[in-house]
Chains A and B, each alone.
Chain A
Amino acid sequence: MNSRLTKKGLTVLTSSLLVLALAACGNNNNGKSSSSPAATGAASPSASEDTKPITLKLATWEQPTNIEAFQKLNEKFTAKYPNITVTFDTSKPDGPYQTLLQTRLNADDADIVTSFAINPKKDYHAGAAVPAMQQYIDAGLIEDLTGKAFLNNFTPESLKDAMTYNDKVWGIDVGMVTYTGVFYNKELFEKNNLKVPTTWPELLNVAKTLQDSGVAPFTMAGKDIWPLGMAANGFIAALEPDLEAFDKKIWSGEVKFTDPVFKEMLEKYEQMMGYMEKGFMGVDYASVVGRFAAGKAAMLPDGMWNAGAIAKANPDMKFGYFPMPVSDNAENNKNFYGKYDMSLMIAAHSKNKEAALKYLEFFSEPENYSEFVNAVGFLPTQPNVTLKDPFLQEIAPQASKMKLAMDIIWQAPQGAGNYTSSVTPVQLLKPAGKETPEEIMNNMQKEWEKEMANLK
């Protein structure tokens, strides 16, 4: 009896383990076979294609202006193609969205995905972790769009800089944004006879004057952490204007994290945090615009995309945007730094690829594109777009010369810790974190050396 049971038990056990093993490998094989163009690209359009109802799943992050712009576009799209509806799958930006994107792509559960530029790692980034989007493309999860006619509507630079990898074009990029600037409340500035600061001492003076008059100089969404790091891009860029050369020097060991430039960056950031409104570490990104628009603080270091949200929160408000003047030398404070923002790509395993292509084509039509880019407030990547928003018109001349920010150039080393995931770990700085600039610099260097030693 016993031996029979054992045998039975073993059969059950092994067969279930087999299921699991198949599952693990199946994961592999699935990807390979369906990513080959022969298997997927040849979906022949049949007669019923135009009438059978299709639902396109679009994965993107929650940013009210983006969602509204998409909703408008989707309505127009469905009006043109009545059988296709587009549904959203959203999450909070940054980390949660990366999670969403990962699960949807790997579960073949999205047709169109949004991301940023591809930013593959460069040759000298030996030992850097492979960026997620690069991994997705390498694994055949993203559809190759090379040669599609609608690409021609976009500037060649944007296609090349943002969407090209391995000599193929993988998507379209909606526009550029900068996030090294500071929104300021023009009324509060005027009331206190303040001018837009162009150097660090001037900025400190502005902050002090505001504080003395009872207005909180700055606010920021400290609760979500990432806005702190985003603003730090302006700090490192003003101190090291040639960021790509700087990046190379870090990887070659010529620049150390204990060098004075990091000290200056962290100390100045610490000074700025000293002028934040009380409780900024409890403010989340969705609330911060409202606080600025309500006049709770006079300045908000943030991405330019929130201009629309500010105007919506308080239509009467007069506000402007200036580059964070971190250097003591006004000449170094003139530039904006940023990135290619939202890109649209098609999931290679999508069952509705034809419809998804139609969507991108529709999106790229100058009229639709122009409306969209105006709504989301990016700097356009199509030529001949008229910017309607006065804010965009105002900053466009200066901002369209923007350079790539440090967090776009930087590639985190494999197994990076809290100190070198970015080169501006300001979230660890008091009072957001627990450490002094010196402690952070030493820890950065220590962590870096460990990572580099592990490579050998």
Chain B
Amino acid sequence: MKMHLVPKPLGYAVMAVMAFLYLFPLLYLFNVSVKPELEFLVDPVGIVKHVLFSNYPDAWKQGNFGQLIGNSVFYTAAAVGLSVLISALAAFPISRGYVGWASFLYVFFMISIFLPNNLVPQWNLIHSLGLYNTRLGFVLVNTGIGLGFMLMAGYMKSIPKELDEAASIDGSSYSRFVLTIILPLIKPVLATSAILQAIGVWNNIIGATVYLSDKKLYPIVLGLFKFYGQYSNQWTLIAAALVIVASPLLLLYLFLQRYIIEGAMTGAVKS
């Protein structure tokens, strides 16, 4: 069933303009990244004449990006894994009312979106626990209960309660039921929460600036930002660095885009 809220020609025109607005910066970035520095200084905008790939190994080496990407993968995996797990384990009893004060707890968790910026006391806390400039500290400040909790609780409500009773009649314990039946059942929403949170953790540049001092512990976004500060006059090098950082994400996105976008879409409908 086709819906023609927008006439076709207008639709194509809009798509063309927007595509240009989104494609051009990326193509331009790539163009700069393969320019010799001198050519860039003389003619920054023109299409590259002498294609030069050496900016890439240079940027890779000087930025130590291999290690930094590894750090980001670790932080994201750890913080997201932990967050999704604890959110799911908490969302189930709350959505079912298996704990007292369930609706209070639901609101209590949900207000995390509104709470005052807690960066200052949080920094003091992390510091006094000896977790400043440690991997564990950075993972912990990125672990949390947010939108994912809301999505999961909403999704769990749609699972019929009879399932719980059937399981208990079969002699299943609560923990076995949650771990082996409920968690697999809510896989789609787990994935959605994970994706949404992963985007947030991966890009947490303020947190990294504040909590990490050791270059070896930087996530890639902070490393990239510092790289830009250090080589701010060498755009060819920075452009290469940007392409280096963007490529794995781009690749991942190419393979997983169905899941990522559809995950975001399921999230939207359920909420």
- Let me know if A14 is at the binding interface, CB within 8 A: no
Number of A-B contacts (CB under 8 A): 58
Within 8 A of A (CB), among B69-110: 99-101
B residues near A91, Cβ cutoff 8 Å: 226, 229
Question: Would A284 and B128 count as touching, CB distance under 8 A?
Answer: no
Cβ of A125 under 8 Å from chain B? no
Partner-binding segment picked from B11-19, B119-127, B240-248: B119-127
CA A362 to CA B232, docked complex, whole Å: 33
Compute how far the CA of A452 lies from the CA of B186 in the bound complex, rounded to whole angstroms.
Answer: 62
Q: Are B213 and A107 in contact (CB under 8 A)?
A: yes
Alpha-carbon separation in the docked complex, A104 to B209 (Å): 12
Q: A107-B133, A284-B232 given as contacts; is B127 within 8 A of A5 (CB)? A: no
Contact of B213 among A26, A103, A286 (CB under 8 A): A103
B100 touches A5 (CB 8 A): yes
Closest chain A residue to B125, Cβ basis? A23
B128 touching A27, Cβ below 8 Å: yes
Q: How large is the interface on A (under 10, 10 to 19, 20 to 34, 35 or more residues)?
A: 20 to 34
Separation of A62 and B226 alpha carbons in the complex (Å): 11
Return chain B residues, CB-CB under 8 Å to A156: none
**B202-234 interface bits toward A, Cβ cutoff 8 Å, 1 = contact, 0 = none:** 000000011001110000000000100111110
Classify the secondary structure of A's interface with B: helix
> Is residue A92 contacting chain B, with contact meaning CB distance below 8 A?
yes
Are A26 and B100 neighbours in the complex by a CB distance under 8 Å? no
Interface size class of B (residues with CB under 8 A): 20 to 34
CB neighbours (8 Å) of B41 from chain A are 294
Chain A residue nearest to B99 in the complex (CB): A5
Output the least CB separation between A248 and chain B (Å).
36
Cβ-based interface call for B10 (8 A): no
Chain B residues within an 8 Å CB radius of A107:
127, 132-133, 213
The one of A1, A19, A20 that contacts B100, using a Cβ cutoff of 8 Å: A1
Chain B contacts for A30, CB-based, 8 A: 128
In the bound complex, CA of A27 to CA of B127 (Å) = 8
Q: Is B269 an interface residue (CB 8 A)?
A: no
Among the listed A92, A109, A286, A287, which residue makes an inter-chain contact with B133, where contact means beta carbons less than 8 Å apart?
A109
The verdict on A290 contacting chain B, using a C-beta distance below 8 Å, is yes
Q: Which of B48-79 contact A (CB under 8 A)?
A: none
User: Does A96 have its Cβ within 8 Å of any Cβ on chain B?
Assistant: yes
Interface positions of A from 96 to 127, Cβ below 8 Å from B: 96, 99-100, 103-104, 106-107, 109
Of all chain A residues, which has the CB nearest B216?
A87
A22 — which chain B residues lie within 8 A by C-beta?
Answer: 128
State A96–B222 Cα separation when bound (angstroms).
Answer: 13
User: Are the CB atoms of A284 and B132 closer together than 8 Å?
Assistant: no
Which residues does chain A contribute within 8 Å of B1, judged by CB atoms?
none
Interface: A2 (CB within 8 A): yes
A47 interface contact, C-beta 8 A: no
**B229 adjacent to A2 (CB under 8 Å):** no
> What A residues does B213 contact at CB under 8 A?
89, 100, 103-104, 107, 109
B113 at the interface (CB under 8 A from A): no
Asked if A2 and B100 sit within 8 Å, CB to CB, the answer is yes
Known A-B contacts A5-B100, A89-B213; the reply to A106 vs B233 at CB < 8 A is no
B45 to chain A, nearest CB (A): 14
Residue of A nearest to B126 (CB): A23
Quote the shortest CB–CB distance from B147 to chain A (angstroms): 23
**A286 near B100: Cβ-Cβ < 8 Å:** no
Which residues of B lie under 8 Å from residue A89 when comparing CB positions? 213-215
**Residue among B127, B209, B232 making CB contact with A287, cutoff 8 Å:** B232
B124 A103 Cβ-Cβ under 8 A: no
Query: How far apart sit A392 and B101, CA to CA, in the bound complex (Å)?
Result: 75
Check if A19 sits within 8 Å of B229, measured CB to CB. no
Inter-subunit contact B101/A2 (CB<8 Å): yes
Residues of chain B within 8 A of A290, CB atoms compared: 233
A26 to B231 alpha-carbon distance, docked (Å): 40
**CB-defined A-B contacts under 8 Å, sample of 26:** A2-B101, A6-B100, A19-B125, A20-B121, A20-B125, A26-B128, A27-B124, A27-B128, A30-B128, A89-B215, A91-B226, A91-B229, A92-B229, A100-B213, A103-B210, A104-B213, A107-B132, A107-B133, A107-B213, A109-B132, A109-B133, A109-B213, A284-B232, A284-B233, A287-B232, A294-B41
Known: A23-B129, A89-B215, A103-B213. 9 other contacts (CB 8 A): A5-B101, A6-B101, A19-B125, A30-B128, A107-B127, A107-B132, A109-B132, A286-B233, A287-B232
